[in-house]
Amino acid sequence: MRPIDFNEIVAFKSNAKVRAEISGISYYPRHSHYMVTEIICVLNGSVTVIDGAMKYELTKNDLHIFNSGDPHQIYSDDPNSTVLLVQFDKTQYAHKFKGLEKAWYCIHSYDSSDQYLAETRYLRHLLADIYIEHAKREPSVIHLEQKTEELIQLLYDYFHRHEYCSNPLGGFAIIRSSPNCGVNCSSRIFAYAASSNAC
């Protein structure tokens, strides 16, 4: 029998259309998000993620990006497993990032061949900043939007792999490869790394 996929509606409490939480994981069933990108960072223990047809084992500090529309599942047998989860609505930021609705990202923080170590550290830093602001009693929409835009820019510059468009045959075609990081983005990462001894 084929597993059932369902679209989970994300309840954004902020007009910035970003959501952040820290939670334990035991079993989260297969689901997807329409026009919402989800990023998880393992804070403690280990978790298993199934993303489409791929299965990954994540441990402390590992990151994974679930692209909008991709069916995924998260579970753990570790009672101490904890993850930081950040989700953002792509339609909220599409006017600032060309092709955002079709953008697709991947990250390999759990792979020893990861070539973007400073960038993944900076990504964790941004996720933490978003969570801290989001957890406030009255979070600043402006601050959340600024940090989310910085997050999206980082994804674009380092973890953006392809954009897709439908072709006349009903399938999908790659229409753009990953761009290089701009000078401003590099400067922010290097400044963060230098100030926190992240490298």
Per residue in 123-171, pLDDT tens? 999 999 999 999 999 999 999 999 999 999 999 988 886 555 566 676 6
Per residue in 10-37, pLDDT tens? 999 999 999 999 999 989 889 999 999 9
8 A C-beta contact, residue 3 and residue 38:
no
> Would you kindly state where each structural domain of the chain is located, as residue ranges?
18-196
82 or 196, which is more confident? 82
- pLDDT for the residue 89: 97
Phi, psi of 183, rounded to the nearest 5 degrees = -65, -40
How much is the mean pLDDT over the chain?
Answer: 83
CA-CA distances (angstroms) from residue 179 to 38, 152, 158, 172, 176?
21, 13, 8, 20, 8
Per residue in 42-81, pLDDT tens? 999 999 999 988 899 999 999 999 999 999 999 999 999 9
8 A C-beta contact, residue 105 and residue 37:
yes
CB atoms within 10 A of CB 33: 21
- pLDDT for the residue 161: 67
pTM for this prediction: 0.81
The CATH code belonging to domain 18-196 is 2.60.120.10
- pLDDT for the residue 64: 94
8 A C-beta contact, residue 109 and residue 120:
yes
Strand partners, 27: 75
